[in-house]
Amino acid sequence: MDVNLEIRHLKLLAAVADEESVTAAGKRLHLTQSALSHQLRDAEEMLGTPLFLRLGKRMALTAAGKKLLEAARRILKDLKEAESQVLGLNGDTHGVIRLSTECYTCYHWLPPLLASFHTTFPKVEVAIDMAATHRPAEELLAGNLDVAIMYCAPEHKNLERSPLCEDELMVVMSPRHPLASRRRIEPQDLEGETILIYPPRDESTLLKKVLEPAGVTPGRIMEIPLTEAIVEMAAAGAGVAFMACWAVSPHLASKKLVGRSLGNPGYRRSWYAVTLRNQRKPPYMTEFLNLLTVNGSKYMEQWLVSKAKA
């Protein structure tokens, strides 16, 4: 689609609207009054309508001018943000890292990691996309994410996986639950039990990787999107959940919940920082991945300590 106006026209429009004066706008843009007036006439002729009313020395926007000014401010803002991102891609210290995780609870221990990262790269924005939590691999491959923290990271030729750490998923329940007296839980022990899971159920680790292969049928399945709500439901005896030990550690320490290993030696999973393979990484991305892979478990432990003291 052909566009007649140029960026200089949009900057001119915004400057004259702000200053309400051709002379003042010219000083702001480092243009003579004659040059600015000439460019303004060019824009108005291209559009076939005046953009300002000349009220003596004061310039007032017309209805068409107000409409164009809204678009001009939006376009100039988007252009500035795009330039900042491109500078980052060129190896500068500006940029954006688009991040998501495969588990909502992971967002709890990210703040101290981000604080450490921003001491080195204060002008790099880390944009967290919580909407991509249930499909981080797909969003990576679509070019909508830069980093995904995952435990079900697929083996794909276009994805690169960097190991972070391991954790254990435990069966957690009220101390008053009959299963709380067991030293460990076997899949068969969950036959007929009410199971508290994160939605969607067709992606539940407990259902798909533990109970179904063992031929175990729960009594009821309750899908609950919030970790805090699952904790409260389990503590109240409304069901049992399968959660990361580090995520519920403070509740185990306070005896609000009881946690038991599933089988022997327990159900463990590996976490990865996943990125697109063969993509050039600017220095800030390399530093961010280094913090994740080298110090990710440290920040997780710090979060646990802070929760335990709270």
Tens digits of residue pLDDT in 77-103: 889 878 766 665 555 567 789 999 887
More confident: 230 or 131: 230
Average pLDDT for 115-120: 88
- Tell me which residue of 94, 99, 123 sits closest to 111, measured CA to CA: 99
The torsion defined by the Cα of 255, 189, 213 and 131, in degrees rounded to 10, comes to: -30
CA–CA separation, 97 and 85 (whole Å): 9
**How does residue 63 score in pLDDT terms, banded at 50, 70 and 90?**
very high
* 169: Cβ contacts below 8 Å, ≥ 6 apart: 205, 206, 242, 243, 244, 245, 262, 267, 268, 269
Supply the pLDDT for residue 306: 56
CA–CA separation, 96 and 69 (whole Å): 27
Supply the pLDDT for residue 233: 96
Share of the chain above pLDDT 90, in %: 50
Instruction: Name the token pair of 59.
Output: 């310039």
pLDDT of 227 higher than 60: yes
Average pLDDT for 26-54: 92
Q: Which of 120-134, 165-179, 227-241 has the lowest mean pLDDT?
A: 120-134
Average confidence score pLDDT of the chain: 87
**How does residue 52 score in pLDDT terms, banded at 50, 70 and 90?**
very high
CA–CA separation, 187 and 218 (whole Å): 10
Supply the pLDDT for residue 301: 59
Average pLDDT for 263-268: 89
Average pLDDT for 9-33: 92
CA–CA separation, 135 and 150 (whole Å): 10
pLDDT of 153 higher than 60: yes
Share of the chain above pLDDT 70, in %: 90
Supply the pLDDT for residue 72: 94
